[in-house]
Amino acid sequence: MVEPGSTIRILVVDDHTLFRRGLTALLQREPQFEVVGDAGDAGEAQRRAGELRPDLILLDNHLPGVNGVDALPALLEAAPGVRVLMLTVSEDEGDLAAALRHGACGYLLKTIEGDALALAIRRAMRGESVIAAEMTGKLVAAYRDATAPPSVAPVDAAAPAARLLTLSPREQDILRGIARGQGNKEIARSLGIAETTVKIHVQHILRKLDVSSRVQAAVIATEHGLG
């Protein structure tokens, strides 16, 4: 994980040259971002990841030959410690589950706005799991189909409903924001409270729900109608 405020070195992986160029130009507008390279297929991505050792890889799923999800283990091995964010058109819950299971730290759709993408990258580099709001409900479908990774599924299927009752009204409001895919700053703005207050509440929510990540909390919230 990079230090707050330091440069985030990014590798862009997509088989469409024009999209790579456009995405690179968009990212280069952010002073904190440095696009150190790009690749058009999984093999090239693995080589470049090993050579360049980026902090984060933006990875499309639909690549020629080996798709992005299947390439994840090799990329993580080539550049230990790298964060990988899927950036794809696929809204399939199977792709989402497989990506998380194989080590992606997030799953975004190509319809995302530039500012939201920049925020997602920063959140990912802070260690957060970043899931497109449109895909949050599909985490539940993947979980029910038993295709979701262990890190996404609640530990105890019977307990979450009871644990939700222990949340205060404010914590429930914040959990709804998490389920919508909002970051702490967005939640704070929508509720009119300080971002530091949101961070404290999130810690309490995770502890009360007995989960270790925002993704798990979002699954529980969506499954029980708080999304």
Residue 4 near residue 128, CB atoms below 8 Å: no
Q: Sheet harboring 130-131: ordered strands across?
A: 33-39, 8-13, 56-59, 83-88, 106-109, 130-131
- Whether the CB-CB separation of 51 and 43 falls below 8 Å is answered with no
Q: Which of 40-54, 89-103, 107-121, 210-224 has the highest mean pLDDT?
A: 40-54
pLDDT value at 198 more than 50: yes
Average pLDDT over residues 170-186: 86
Which domains, ranges and CATH numbers included, belong to the chain?
Answer: 8-141 (3.40.50.2300), 154-223 (1.10.10.10)
Each residue's pLDDT tens digit, 86-122: 999 988 888 888 888 888 988 999 988 888 899 999 9
Q: Compute φ and ψ for 65, nearest 5 degrees.
A: 80, -110
CA atoms within a 13 Å half-sphere pointing along the CA-CB vector of 80:
0
Which residues have CB under 8 Å from 38's CB, separation 6+? Answer: 11, 12, 13, 14, 20, 24, 48
Global pTM reads: 0.65
Distances in Å between the Cα of 104 and the Cα atoms of 108, 136, 186 are 11, 15, 23
For residue 212, give the 3-state DSSP assignment: coil
Task: Give the separation between CA 122 and CA 116, rounded to whole angstroms.
Answer: 10
Both tokens of 161, joined, read 């409903």
